[in-house]
Amino acid sequence: MANIKFYKMGEMPLELHKVRVVQKLHLVPINRRLDAINEAGFNTFRLSTKDVFLDMLTDSGTNAMSDNQVAAMFQADDAYAGSQSFERLQKAVLDVLGKKYLLPVHQGRAAENVICHAFVKPGNVVPTNYHFTTTLAHVMERGGVIEELYHDRALVLHSDHPFKGNMDIDKLEACIQRHGVDKIPFVRMEASTNLIGGQPFSIRNLMDVRAVCDKYGIMLVLDASLLGENAFLVKQREDAWKENSMGDILRTMTGLADLVYFSARKLSSSRGGGICTNRRDIYAKMEALIPLFEGFLTYGGISVREIETMAVGLNETLDETMISQSPTFIKYMVEQLDAAGIPVITPPGVLGCHIDAGKFCEHIPQAEYPAGALAAALYLISGVRAMERGTISSIRDEEGNDVLADAELLRLAVPRRVFTLSQVNYVIDRLQWLWDNRELIGGLKFTYEPPVLRFFMGGLAPTSDWPEKLVSKFRKDFGDSL
Ligand code: F0G
């Protein structure tokens, strides 16, 4: 018995829900997977779910809904204007996020569009702890630039730093001094910083950022798309907040920001999004943009059924047993892979398990997109769909050269309450096989490249016949098994 590890409750990867509605999955044969990835231009975004076994592309709009969320859809109040469903959402936003003015939008990037239209002018600079793809695109679309003010240890991939999402306060001061207050429409903090591996910021850091914003009279904007998970990690990792409820932590964080926006596809496991504030002047600058871009002010391009699920989902973020499920499974995955010597981002973050593809595929030059190649290879040998978060997700500079990403990551998203532990174990098993055969993975090159957000629809091709060689080795080891 001495070697058996006993988990404390709350640390065990354990499903605290039961499955009541299921969807059949298809694990198609490896030959079909080879055709499918070719047809998809080696871009996992372009695969059909008919060919995907475990869909770990994203948690966006793919989290499991609760029975109460589904039930709430039946009481939706269909009305163009003045819907009671919207009133219920306003109440949930006030109760959970502590903000009284709410502008509904159809998803997170729509909030970014509205905010950037209202506040960003050509030549502006938006300081942020780290960019997100859609935020960067919207700031640039308005003629602005972003400046990433992460601290020195944020990009150390294998680390024990509990708050890699923190902003460097000295860099923020220097940035404001350098550009001048007039050039800075707002400071943006992103909860559970997505592109560096779902890494949180601490409340202490957010307070320090707030103090600098107050000193210069600059607005603080919080991207709350992954706020529930950030709050959960604050409770686990920040001593001063260990005894507080999720509600206290959430409202403390939102209370520090002048404007909070979110993708409800992530925050409340539904659809839609929102922008909220307690400042009438900030609200007034955006109000007219909602009917222009989204829809009337009481539905914002979202169906009323989804508005009901948003309201219930927001309240459910206060339930620690619900929020903890995905981070606990991610932690399990990270620990197992780490123990097997596979390079993963540590400490475990939220949203998904992130593999250091730069290290996994050390032999592939960054210009040949190691993270994209790893995503394609993993799909081939397992049917698991992951997402490239590296140079393919980056942009080109004015001369047309790739802006090489700070890190080449492969993200295996673990949406809330979707996968069982045996499915997670399957992914671990196949990743270990791929790790042993990693020298067979080769590079990729673009064949079709859209000008904006190229990672979504871009097409690529392998730089050699490595996919066929990988398939042969798989067949040699596993025979005709899938
Ligand atoms: N902000 C963050 C931190 C996000 O993670 C996302 C979306 C958005 C804004 C945009 O929201 O998709 O509703 O328009 N992240 C998804 C992902 C796409 O897969 O990580 P959206």
Map residue 141 onto helix, strand or coil: helix
- Report which of 361, 314, 323 is spatially closest to residue 463, judged by C-alpha positions: 361
pLDDT of residue 4: 60
347 preceded by a cis bond (ω within 30 of 0): yes
Whether the CB-CB separation of 396 and 410 falls below 8 Å is answered with no
Kindly indicate the confidence band of residue 3, based on its pLDDT and cuts at 50, 70 and 90.
low
Report pTM.
0.95
Whether the CB-CB separation of 63 and 418 falls below 8 Å is answered with yes
Q: What is the pLDDT of residues 200-211, one digit of tens each?
A: 999 999 999 999
> Which residue from 134, 193, 265, 294 has its CB within 8 A of the most atoms of ligand 1, so it is best to mutate?
134
Please state whether beta strands 259-263 and 219-223 pair in parallel, antiparallel, or not at all (unpaired). parallel
Q: What is the pLDDT of residues 140-194, one digit of tens each?
A: 999 999 999 999 999 999 999 999 999 999 999 999 999 999 999 999 999 999 9
| Amino acid letter for position 173 | E
Residue spans of alpha helices (H) in 84-238: 84-92, 108-119, 133-141, 169-179, 203-216, 227-237
Q: What is the pLDDT of residues 9-31, one digit of tens each?
A: 778 899 999 999 999 999 999 99
DSSP H or E segment with residue 262: strand 259-263
Is ligand 1 within 6 A of the CB of residue 43? no
- pLDDT: is 3 or 430 the higher one? 430
Mean pLDDT for 313-329 is 95
Q: Worst-scoring range by mean pLDDT, 108-122, 247-261, 367-381, 467-481?
A: 467-481
What domains does the chain contain, in order, with CATH numbers? 30-59+323-478 (3.90.1150.10), 67-318 (3.40.640.10)
b/e map 172-185, b = 16+ CB within 10 Å = beebbeebeeebbb
Kindly indicate the confidence band of residue 481, based on its pLDDT and cuts at 50, 70 and 90.
confident
Q: What is the pLDDT of residues 385-414, one digit of tens each?
A: 999 999 999 999 999 999 999 999 999 999
Is ligand 1 within 6 A of the CB of residue 132? yes
Kindly indicate the confidence band of residue 308, based on its pLDDT and cuts at 50, 70 and 90.
very high
Whether the CB-CB separation of 229 and 249 falls below 8 Å is answered with no
Q: What is the pLDDT of residues 449-477, one digit of tens each?
A: 999 899 999 999 999 999 999 999 999 99
Is ligand 1 within 6 A of the CB of residue 131? no
Going from the Cα of 210 to the center of ligand 1, the distance in angstroms, rounded, reads 24
- Report which of 250, 241, 306 is spatially closest to residue 276, judged by C-alpha positions: 250
- Catalytic-residue membership of 210: no
pLDDT of residue 480: 77
352-356: strand order across its sheet: 352-356, 409-413, 387-389
Closest C-alpha residue for ligand 1 atom 20: 58
Count of Cβ atoms closer than 10 Å to residue 438 Cβ: 18
Angle at 392 between CA 386 and CA 396, to 5 degrees: 160
Whether the CB-CB separation of 445 and 392 falls below 8 Å is answered with no
Closest C-alpha residue for ligand 1 atom 2: 225
Going from the Cα of 178 to the center of ligand 1, the distance in angstroms, rounded, reads 30
